[in-house]
């Protein structure tokens, strides 16, 4: 396995990136706050990966669908906990996907990718080496490292000719369908622009034609002016429950300055993002008085089209509508795409505001119902 430790400079910030190869040829990258990372050698002798997914076009909906049947055999909730977790560090008696005894943040090509064979790329992002940790419990400087990592991966994947959109995201909780409990996310390099992004950008285009304004900027201004759906805000970011929220618990994070993607964020915007991201996750953790299953989805501009229309933002939502009740996508949602929400955005926002940081910096508040 070859490797080289080099500074990765993106958007005026610096993290230390160390490249390597796993024994089956997949790329692995360590991201550290300080230089000096020495990667180990993957001695598993894995056979070379030959998975090839397909993308098929749905003429009726004008959408692409990924066909990746090899994912049926991917690892699912190993019973041995950390002793059998492939995302933990490699230590004597336990060989994993990460051939070092510790790490801060690490990224590697997915062994069971949704996209492969020259039609995009799928990567795994491990937020911490602590199997029992969680993203929301990381200190701000470690969250900042994750942000820099996602920015660097976005920049690198955007340079690939087979990638049209980069999508970093985190699935958290068994109810969401997470197959591994270790704190991690993923990054998809789509070989097309996704339907949701196309729909948003078409709305932004029509709005600009009609008003000469920016749809995202005006939504942000409206939310900050009305205030009843704002959860919290900092100098550079605002978190709010969207006016037409689809999910029982849903929060969007918008930067105050329009940026197309994570690499475009300045140093101070990234540091500020780490602060508000942790704040929001802390509130969400207390909303139902139990660990909240959620999806955190970064919406970025396409690589080559409509970048002037886009506005980077994070959409974070949960399917948990009560402590022991899930929202299922039934007839209207699954059949027609029309969501029916049993909660009001204003009530959810008010509840999240109550669960704000205390004087000691800890998140306080009771359990939601």
Q: Which residues have CB under 8 Å from 72's CB, separation 6+?
A: none
Annotated ligand binding at 126? The verdict is no
Residue 113 burial (CB count, 10 A): 25
Secondary structure element (H or E) that encloses residue 270, with its range: helix 267-287
Considering the candidates 16, 184, 252, 299, report the single residue annotated as catalytic. 184
Q: Is 184 a residue of the active site?
A: yes
Q: Which residues have CB under 8 Å from 38's CB, separation 6+?
A: 5, 100
Annotated ligand binding at 256? The verdict is no
**Nearest to 298, CA basis, from 317, 282, 278, 313:** 313
Can you state the percent helix, strand and coil of the chain, rounding each to 5?
Answer: 30, 25, 45
**Nearest to 273, CA basis, from 297, 299, 238:** 238
CA distance linking residue 121 with residue 208, whole number of Å: 33
Secondary structure element (H or E) that encloses residue 224, with its range: helix 215-226
At residue 118's C-alpha, the angle toward residues 52 and 104, to 5°, is: 90
Greatest alpha-carbon pair distance for the chain in Å reads: 64
CB 173 within 8 A of CB 294: yes
Annotated ligand binding at 85? The verdict is yes
What are the Cα distances from residue 187, in Å, to 57, 163, 235? 22, 12, 28
Annotated ligand binding at 88? The verdict is yes
Binding site, by residue number, is: 85, 88, 131, 182
Residues taking part in catalysis: 184
Binding site for Zn(2+), by residue number, is: 85, 88, 131, 182
């Amino acid at each position: 396995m070859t490797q080289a430790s080099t500074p990765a400079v993106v958007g005026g910030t610096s993290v230390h990136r160390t490249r390597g190869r796993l024994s089956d040829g997949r790329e692995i990258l360590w991201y550290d706050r300080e230089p000096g990372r020495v990667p180990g050698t993957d001695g598993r002798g894995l056979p070379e990966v030959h998975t090839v997914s397909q993308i098929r076009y749905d003429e009726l909906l004008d959408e692409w669908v990924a066909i990746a049947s090899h994912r049926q055999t991917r690892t699912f909730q190993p019973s041995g906990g950390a002793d059998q977790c492939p995302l933990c560090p490699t230590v004597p008696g336990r060989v994993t996907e990460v051939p070092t005894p510790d790490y801060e943040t690490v990224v590697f090509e997915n062994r069971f990718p949704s996209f492969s064979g020259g039609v995009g790329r799928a990567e795994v992002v491990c937020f911490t080496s602590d199997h029992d940790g969680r993203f929301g419990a990381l200190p701000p400087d470690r969250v900042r490292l994750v942000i820099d990592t996602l920015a660097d991966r976005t920049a690198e994947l955007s340079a690939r000719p087979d990638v049209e959109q980069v999508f970093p995201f985190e699935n958290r909780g068994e109810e969401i369908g997470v197959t591994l409990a270790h704190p991690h996310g993923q990054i998809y390099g789509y070989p097309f622009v996704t339907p949701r992004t196309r729909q948003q950008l078409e709305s932004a285009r029509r709005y600009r034609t009609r008003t000469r304004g920016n749809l995202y900027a005006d939504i942000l201004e409206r939310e900050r002016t009305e205030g009843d759906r704002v959860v919290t805000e900092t100098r550079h970011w605002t978190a709010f429950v969207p006016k037409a929220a689809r999910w029982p618990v849903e929060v969007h994070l918008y930067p105050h300055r329009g940026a197309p993607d994570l690499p475009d964020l300045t140093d101070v915007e990234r540091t500020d993002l780490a602060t508000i991201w942790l704040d929001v996750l802390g509130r969400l953790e207390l909303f139902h008085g139990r660990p909240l299953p959620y999806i955190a989805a970064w919406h970025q501009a396409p690589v080559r089209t409509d970048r002037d229309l886009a506005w980077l933002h994070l959409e974070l939502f949960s399917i948990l509508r009560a402590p022991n009740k899930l929202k299922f996508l039934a007839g209207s949602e699954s059949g027609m795409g029309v969501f029916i929400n049993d909660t009001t955005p204003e009530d959810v926002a008010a509840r999240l505001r109550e669960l704000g940081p205390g004087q000691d910096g800890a998140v306080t508040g009771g359990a939601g119902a």
